[in-house]
Amino acid sequence: MERKASEMGMNRTGTMAHPVKSKETIEGSEKYAPDIPGGASVMAKARQDFAREAGNLGTVPPPNLKGMAKAAMALLKGGRATVFVDKLGQRAGFERTGARLYELALSKLDVFGTWEGGPSREQLEKIRLDELRHFALVKRTLEKLGADPTALTPAAELQANLSEGVPRVMADPHVNLLQSLEGLMTAELVDNASWELLIELARELGHTEIAEDFQRALDAEQEHLALVRAWLAAGTKLEARVGGEAAGAPA
């Protein structure tokens, strides 16, 4: 199926679409001030007041030491372990969503096909499995620490809320495969930076073995990012080329 990402056509969002009406709109906005008192500084003040009064985004549940007390105690090192569990919870949630994102990309591939230098089904499926494996790795690590891998930690909620637009956009039926790759790029950039931080944190806390396992995950994430960027570049350049023909998006 053919659907260009940047097709020329009617778009009424810019002022150039109707210079006369646009001029009147600008004049109107200058003539009539907002009828609600206040301004940007009042709004900033209100936000600051709310921030002072509101509670935490959430809390990290205490570890369950039953059955694995010894191992967990060896791994948990004081209050700092809470930070580690929080960030592990964040990775678990994001990697699980990551697998879903590649499922969404696979659906786009089925509808729109790919292009020269674009993703293949095998590549997307392989990365999907990588993300699932990473989720399993984080889950096992949390269990070793006596933490509940099903708990939504504050850092997990933060990252999920920040990136909620990614699955939404990728599931949008108007979005083609090339456009959906922008979602994968956003996710992979976050993935790379987050694994780097997690590895640093693991080393800082003396979890050398965990850090080594996580380094292998980061190696895979670096490959994912390089691939997504290459697919996106190839597809965008192909679409920009006059008469550039290919299956899928940049047809």
List residues near Fe ion by CB under 5 A. 191, 221, 224
Task: Name the residue nearer to Fe ion (CB basis): 68 or 190.
Answer: 190
**Residue type at 169 in one-letter notation:** V
Residue number of the CB atom closest to Fe ion: 224
- Residue 247 Cβ, how far from Fe ion at the closest point, in Å? 25
Instruction: Confirm if 246 and 116 have CB atoms less than 8 A apart.
Output: yes
**Residue type at 1 in one-letter notation:** M
CA distance 114 to 245: 11
Task: Name the residue nearer to Fe ion (CB basis): 148 or 223.
Answer: 223
- Residue 101 Cβ, how far from Fe ion at the closest point, in Å? 9
What kind and span of H or E run contains 85? helix 80-112
Instruction: Count the Cβ atoms, other than its own, within 10 Å of residue 215.
Output: 14
- Residue 221 Cβ, how far from Fe ion at the closest point, in Å? 5
Task: Name the residue nearer to Fe ion (CB basis): 152 or 225.
Answer: 225
Task: Name the residue nearer to Fe ion (CB basis): 60 or 105.
Answer: 105
- Residue 191 Cβ, how far from Fe ion at the closest point, in Å? 5
Closest CA to 227 of 191, 173, 194: 191
